[in-house]
Amino acid sequence: MRFDAFSRPAAAQRSDCLVIGAFERGELGAEGLAVDRRVRGRVRRLLSSGDFSGHTGETLLLPEVPGVAAGRLLLIGLGNKAQFNRRGWRRALQTAIAALARTRIASAAIALERPGAAELDGYYLGRSIAEITGASLYRVNDLKTGRRARAPALARVLVGPVAAAAIAEVRRGLAAGAALSESARLLRNLGNLPANVCTPRYLAAQARELERSYRRRLRVRVFDEAGIRRLKMGCLLAVTRGSAEPPRFIVLDYRGARRSRPPLVLVGKGVTFDTGGISLKDPPAMDEMKYDMCGAATVLAAIDFAARTGLKINLVGLIPTCENMPDGRAVKPGDIVTSASGQTVEILNTDAEGRLILCDALNYARRYQPEAVVDFATLTGACIIALGNHHSGVMANDDALARELVEAGVRTDDRAWQLPLTEEYGEQLRSNFADMANIAGREGGAITAAAFLGKFTQGMRWAHMDIAGSAWAGGAAKGATGRPLSLVADFLTRRAAGSKS
């Protein structure tokens, strides 16, 4: 896909199709009116005929409109004019790309009304156009045996009209968004793969693949079971015990800034399938536990994005990965294990496995004396109860770091919400037999899980993102969403910009 910006009047821009929007009750915005003048009122006459209502989601494709340089004109409903905002614009853009993908149109000029610059500046305009185009054209790599649908012809997307002075900024955004959609494709593909394909070894092979693509700046190291034992990661070993698939601990080291600068460490939960173990889960929707490695995939995709765009930042990715299975050899409720940090853990529920594999990885992060550590995990059902599917959860021992993540989520419409992580929650993890238990009752479950992790991150600036509700969608539209990559990419880009490499 190629992207560019243009500054001539939209009606004069050549392409296979010009895309404009119209509000309900025949109202047009500034961009729509400009085009309408060029076509001598044809758009308005069409609207007043009542053939196009302007409701959200509505589309109308018109061939060869005199006055329009493009081969076709695509009208998109923008809904109520008074309520139009950035979210409405994003939805209109999604609708437009989906409509274009159903045709043989190869190039499109997008001149949809947009929210004001305060809501969407040039950079984020470009970034969103490229990102939404990529996301809307994403197709699951399925194993259906019937005839494949033809791939969309769309290969070139232009955005405008953009003031000449802003064009460089829009292009910068388009480049970032194009890179981001490539990385998001990797993330979504990994999430959507079945667990019999996407195993710990498969994730390790993916990391090696990234190393091959970005040789100059990326180094990968993979620990097998014996290596993990040498690292004394007793909690990761406990989770993997019941599985016939061997575990891996993956370390990715991306150097984009000067060597002496401490890295940012990203940690991702890589449970490639979570049955719950001996504390077996109920059958409904258990298949969705193939998505329990979305934290790991987020880390791989974030490093792919950093390397692809050459971000001037040092990044370390840590991925503990295994399956959680019931078996004669599996870890049992009440078993006590020793983590890599030396602290002992009583495993009261084998289904609280994510925190177990993460605690050993978080402890490993310490050796880098990192600038900060952020972990990503589909960690708790409780986070979905607290925030639904709209916000990822953020918990941190450093409020400034939490704020950076939350604000990156606002800028990218990939939202996250901070939950409190005060001492009381950690106290709920008391065990009679070990330094701590791995569960603490139902109440505040997302936070007590974070409090468990917090016992392994003392002295480091650390934030935890619970993406259980955001990483994938269930139901009829089941699939990986690509979240929270957009947030993370923005967070990393800002951090890199604030640095002296």
Choose the contact partner of 11 out of Zn ion, ligand BES, Mn ion, none; CB within 5 to 8 A by kind.
none
Q: How far is the CB of 328 from ligand BES (least distance, A)?
A: 21
Tell me if residue 329 is catalytic: no
Based on CB atoms, which residue is closest to Zn ion, 68 or 453? 453
Contact indicator for 233, 339 with CB cutoff of 8 Å: yes
Q: 132 CB contacts (<8 Å, ≥6 apart)?
A: 90, 93, 94, 97
Contact with ligand BES (CB under 6 A): which of 314, 378, 412, 457?
Answer: 378
d(CA 371, CA 495): 11
120 binds ligand BES (CB under 6 A): no
Q: 3-state DSSP call for residue 332?
A: coil
Q: 51 CB contacts (<8 Å, ≥6 apart)?
A: 60
Q: How far is the CB of 352 from Zn ion (least distance, A)?
A: 8
d(CA 134, CA 271): 27
Contact with ligand BES (CB under 6 A): which of 394, 436, 468, 487?
Answer: 468
Contact with Zn ion (CB under 5 A): which of 247, 263, 354, 426?
Answer: 354
Based on CB atoms, which residue is closest to Zn ion, 309 or 378? 378
Q: How far is the CB of 294 from Mn ion (least distance, A)?
A: 13
Instruction: Of 428, 414, 420, give the one whose Cα is nearest residue 483.
Output: 414
The amino acid at 315: L
Tell me if residue 150 is catalytic: no
d(CA 185, CA 270): 18
Choose the contact partner of 445 out of ligand BES, Zn ion, Mn ion, none; CB within 5 to 8 A by kind.
ligand BES
292 binds ligand BES (CB under 6 A): yes
Q: How far is the CB of 467 from ligand BES (least distance, A)?
A: 9
Contact with Mn ion (CB under 5 A): which of 274, 323, 375, 466?
Answer: 274
439 binds ligand BES (CB under 6 A): yes
Contact with ligand BES (CB under 6 A): which of 382, 408, 447, 496?
Answer: 382
274 binds Zn ion (CB under 5 A): yes
d(CA 465, CA 268): 10
Q: What x-and-dash track marks residues 319-358 binding Mn ion by CB under 5 A?
A: --------------------------------x-x-----
Choose the contact partner of 326 out of Zn ion, ligand BES, Mn ion, none; CB within 5 to 8 A by kind.
none
List of E strands, 339-401: 344-347, 372-377, 392-396
Q: 254 CB contacts (<8 Å, ≥6 apart)?
A: 214, 217, 218, 303, 306, 307, 313, 314, 315, 316, 317
444-463 binders of ligand BES (CB under 6 A)? 445
Contact with ligand BES (CB under 6 A): which of 15, 183, 298, 380?
Answer: 380
Q: What x-and-dash track marks residues 311-350 binding ligand BES by CB under 6 A?
A: --------------------------------------x-
Instruction: Compute φ and ψ for 137, nearest 5 degrees.
Output: -90, -5
Residue matched to tokens 């490093």? 303
* Contact range with Zn ion by CB under 5 A, out of 104-112, 325-333, 347-355, 407-415: 347-355
5 binds ligand BES (CB under 6 A): no
Q: 38 CB contacts (<8 Å, ≥6 apart)?
A: 9, 11, 12, 67, 68
d(CA 460, CA 127): 32
Burial tier of 172 (Cβ tally within 10 Å: 0-12, 13-18, 19+) = middle
Please give the torsion angle defined by the CA atoms of residues 483, 486, 490 and 492, in that order, rounded to the nearest 10 degrees. 60
375 binds ligand BES (CB under 6 A): no
177-196 binders of Zn ion (CB under 5 A)? none
Q: 3-state DSSP call for residue 58?
A: coil
Count residues binding ligand BES (CB under 6 A). Answer: 15
Burial tier of 329 (Cβ tally within 10 Å: 0-12, 13-18, 19+) = exposed
Choose the contact partner of 15 out of Mn ion, Zn ion, ligand BES, none; CB within 5 to 8 A by kind.
none
List residues bridging with 418 in a β-sheet.
Answer: 394
d(CA 76, CA 152): 19
Contact with Zn ion (CB under 5 A): which of 211, 292, 375, 466?
Answer: 292
Q: Tell me how far apart the terminal alpha carbons of the chain are, to the nearest angstrom.
A: 31
Choose the contact partner of 349 out of ligand BES, Zn ion, Mn ion, none; CB within 5 to 8 A by kind.
ligand BES
d(CA 412, CA 491): 10
Contact with ligand BES (CB under 6 A): which of 10, 352, 402, 405?
Answer: 352
Instruction: Of 378, 139, 341, 119, give the one whose Cα is nearest residue 236.
Output: 341
Q: How far is the CB of 444 from ligand BES (least distance, A)?
A: 11
Choose the contact partner of 382 out of Mn ion, ligand BES, Zn ion, none; CB within 5 to 8 A by kind.
ligand BES
Based on CB atoms, which residue is closest to ligand BES, 131 or 351? 351
Choice among 171, 355, 411, 483 that is catalytic: 355
381 binds ligand BES (CB under 6 A): yes
Where do contacts with ligand BES occur on this chain (CB under 6 A)?
Answer: 274, 292, 349, 351-354, 378-382, 439, 445, 468
Where do contacts with Zn ion occur on this chain (CB under 5 A)?
Answer: 271, 274, 292, 354
Catalytic residues: 281, 355
Where do contacts with Mn ion occur on this chain (CB under 5 A)?
Answer: 274, 351, 353
